[in-house]
Amino acid sequence: MSDVYKKQVGGSHYQSMVIQPSEFINKNNLPFAEGNAIKYLCRHKQKGQKKDLEKAIHYCQMAIDRDYSEKKDFLEEAEKEKKKV
C-alpha cells in the first residue's frame, strides 16, 4: 500500500479498515457518485451514523439518474430506431 493511503487527514474513522475506501475507489476507477456511496457506507458506524447512510442512498440515486434515467432510455431508443432506418 502506498504511503498516501496510510495517512488520513481529519479524523481516524478509516484507519481501522483493512483497505481505506479511497484506495478501493481509486484502484477500481469508480465514478464520483459510486465512490462517495462506498465512502459513506464504510464509515457510517464510526462517524455520521444514519446521516451517512442517507448520504450513501443519495449518491446511489444520483448514479441511477445518471445511468438509468428515462431521458437516457429515450435517447438510446431513438438512436436504435435511427440505425434501423
Longest Cα–Cα distance in the chain: 59
**32 closest CA partner among 70, 69, 1, 59:** 59
Banded model confidence at residue 21, pLDDT cuts 50, 70, 90: very high
Flag whether the pTM goes above 0.85: no
pLDDT score of 5 more than 80: no
**Dihedral angle of Cα 74, 75, 76, 79, to the nearest 10 degrees:** 120
Asked if residue 41 lies in contact with residue 25, where contact means CB atoms within 8 angstroms, the answer is no
pLDDT of residue 57: 97
